[in-house]
Amino acid sequence: MTRDAAWDALVGDARIVVCVGTGGVGKTTLAASIALEAARRGQRALVLTIDPARRLADALGIGELGNQPRELPPELHRRLGLPDGAHLFAVMLDMKRTFDDLVERLAASEEARQRILANPIYQQLSDALAGSGEYAAMEKVYELLESQRYDLVVLDTPPSQHALDFLDAPRKLLEFIDSRVVKLLVHPALSAGRFGFRLFQGATQRALKLIERLSGIGFLEDISEFLLAFEDMSAGFRDRATRVQSMLLGPEARFVLVAAPSPEAARNAELFLTRLEATRVPISGIAINRTRLWPGGGAPAQGLRCDDATISEALETDLVRLAEALDPDAQPPVEGRHAALAALAVARQYAGLVQLDRDSTSGLRARARRLGVAVRDVPELACEVHDLDGLSLVAVHLFGSDAPDERSAPHRQEV
């Protein structure tokens, strides 16, 4: 396996790596492996997960993941071959806490802070409702980078449909703060003491009245009060959202698309690629996780095709030879024949899986080639990846290694 400049750059000059992709493809694992590789190269690296990835926490020996970064204990460094000065941290996003911290940081006074934290709209917005996690994640990344304590922050994002909201989150928030509706809701309340819809003319007035009628006024009052309370920190918020956005689109950010070799996941990855292109987010690489590769490299022989049930003459010769080898003392080798057929069956079955993965990702691969984006396969292992050795192995496959490594053989026997 060779090194690849595009992948090397992820753990070279990037300060933030964002792993995007649909759910269930292994983003958390790959994000952790990228952070691990950066640590191996002597950096202070941190992985930020969205899920309470308990196995990851166990694997990293850090008990439970929380809102504050925890470091991999030094006694595990040697086992991972981490050089002096390397550090590996993990942290889990706590949306509610992240928003609360932000309010704390930006509120002009204690009173304003209390008003916001007690507002029902704020409580729901920051905690329970879907879709507000994306901004919180970006905010957390910004806070972590700003602390100057990490060379690289690797971010595992929420699953797909929302991951683009996520790229859009700072812009949406800015638009929301700046929107006319917010101004309309806030300023009349300031000047008239209650909804001064009469101050406004035309379509917007009528539309607001309609919303009032359909939703119940209490809701609008809460929104209005929330925005009022929010207003005195909106300049700070706007400034911050702008910086978060430029960090995302800046030269120090890299995006890795994580895909899986199922037809659905590959199709979703292609859709994703299309949308990312449309938003002009450059993709540094595509990792196809858990690809079934043919052991020893290359492709299975034509005669092993899964949809070919016949036993050709050449295959028959092989079976005879294998049966004799497996059952050398019997003549004829009846049991050996049975075993040889079983061997053929597993080979065909596995060849079928290899072909399946190849077929389901061919469109994605062609697309990546046209775009000049590097694709890496992380082979599916016979074992599961949720310990340090598993993560190391994934890192070896992602980044390649200079020396041939016995760990890189697919299907390392573990069970």
Partner 1 sequence: MSVPMPFPVSLPMSLPVSLPMSFPMSFPMSFPMSFPMTTEIDLSLLSRRIIIVSGKGGTGKTTVSTALGLAAAAHGRRTLIVEVGPTEHVTPLLDPGGPAAGYAGRELRPGLHVLRIDPFLAVSEYIGLQLGSRGPVDLVLRNRALRQLLDGAPGWRELITLGKIWYLEQSLSPSGAPLFDLIVVDAPATGHGVSFLDVPRVVQSAVRAGPLARNAGLVERLVRDPDKTLLLPVCLAEDLPARETGELIERMRDRVGIAVDRVVINALPARPLPDDLSDIGERLAELPPTLDLCVLPEPPVLTACASYLTSRHALAEHYVGVVAELTGLPLVGLPFVMGGLRQPGALDRISEALLTQPQSPDEAEPAANDRVHR
CB 288 within 8 A of CB 338: no
Q: Does 158 help bind partner 1 (rule: CB under 8 A)?
A: yes
Q: Pick the closer one to partner 1 by CB: 104 or 414.
A: 414
Judged by CB under 8 A, the residue of 9, 281, 339, 396 near partner 1 is 339
**CB hemisphere CA count around 292 (13 angstroms):** 16
Tokens of residue 106, six digits: 């930006």
Segment interacting with partner 1 (CB under 8 A) among 11-19, 236-244, 317-325, 393-401: 317-325
Q: Pick the closer one to partner 1 by CB: 111 or 414.
A: 414
Q: Does 1 help bind partner 1 (rule: CB under 8 A)?
A: no
Q: How far, CA to CA in Å, does 157 sit from each of 49, 136, 253, 279?
A: 7, 11, 14, 17
Q: Does 383 help bind partner 1 (rule: CB under 8 A)?
A: yes
Q: Pick the closer one to partner 1 by CB: 147 or 161.
A: 161
Q: Pick the closer one to partner 1 by CB: 9 or 319.
A: 319
Interactions with partner 1, residue window 175-234 (CB under 8 A): 175-176, 179-182, 184, 203-204, 206-207, 210-211, 213-219, 222
Judged by CB under 8 A, the residue of 108, 190, 199, 341 near partner 1 is 341
Judged by CB under 8 A, the residue of 76, 117, 281, 315 near partner 1 is 315
Segment interacting with partner 1 (CB under 8 A) among 5-13, 320-328, 365-373, 394-402: 320-328
Judged by CB under 8 A, the residue of 300, 358, 374, 401 near partner 1 is 300
Judged by CB under 8 A, the residue of 124, 147, 279, 362 near partner 1 is 124
Give me the least distance between CB of 53 and partner 1, in Å please.
8
Q: Pick the closer one to partner 1 by CB: 222 or 232.
A: 222
Segment interacting with partner 1 (CB under 8 A) among 12-20, 101-109, 189-197, 344-352: 344-352
